[in-house]
Amino acid sequence: MITPAYCQMMARYNAWQNKGLREMIPTIAREELYRDRGAFFGSIMGTLNHVLWGDATWISRFDGGAGPDVPPKEHLEMTPTPAVWAAERFRMDARISLWAQSVSAIDLTGDLTWTAALSGDEMSKPMGLCVVQLFNHQTHHRGQVHAMLTAMGLKPNDTDLPFMPED
């Protein structure tokens, strides 16, 4: 279904997109970042925290490391400030990139079984599907953040994969 090269490309894309957000978020007034904008997770910061929490949850299943240290019901407040979010986002992107660089084709086969953090249900799905979920989830919710920023009159970075800079 997917390859290590796909994981590496999407990890680079994730880091590129989040770098743009890490640069933009500190320039926005705090009240604007926390204003309920009618998005699924309310505010820009609520949505960014949701993505960070989801990334921590999924990558812990892939690399065996620690999951989020915030319970599911508190995940929209995972980081107390935009600066803390930026630092945690930087670390998470590095963790995802490290995993992507070390993943092998065999690691992407078979099923992954876990207990869902939000529902408590035991789940089992193909590993490839779960990895695609990690990257799709990020892209989906970052798109919501992009829309909120654009509605504020700001110009976030381009989001198209073909425009991702080469390293």
Q: Are 112 and 130 in contact (CB under 8 A)?
A: yes
Q: Are 111 and 105 in contact (CB under 8 A)?
A: no
> Is the confidence at residue 16, as pLDDT, over 90?
yes
Region 37-58: mean pLDDT is 97
pLDDT on residue 1: 80
| Distance separating alpha carbons of residues 84 and 46, to the nearest angstrom | 13
Q: Are 66 and 60 in contact (CB under 8 A)?
A: yes
What band does 161 get if pLDDT is binned at 50, 70 and 90? Answer: very high
End-to-end CA distance of the chain: 26
Tens-digit pLDDT profile for residues 98-143: 999 999 999 999 999 999 988 889 999 999 999 999 999 999 999 9
Query: pTM for the complete prediction?
Result: 0.96
Lowest mean pLDDT among 48-57, 97-106, 153-162: 153-162
The Cα diameter of the chain in Å comes to 47
Task: Catalogue the long-range contacts made by 123-130 (C-beta closer than 8 Å, 24 or more residues apart).
Answer: 126/1, 128/1, 128/2, 129/1, 130/58, 130/61, 130/62
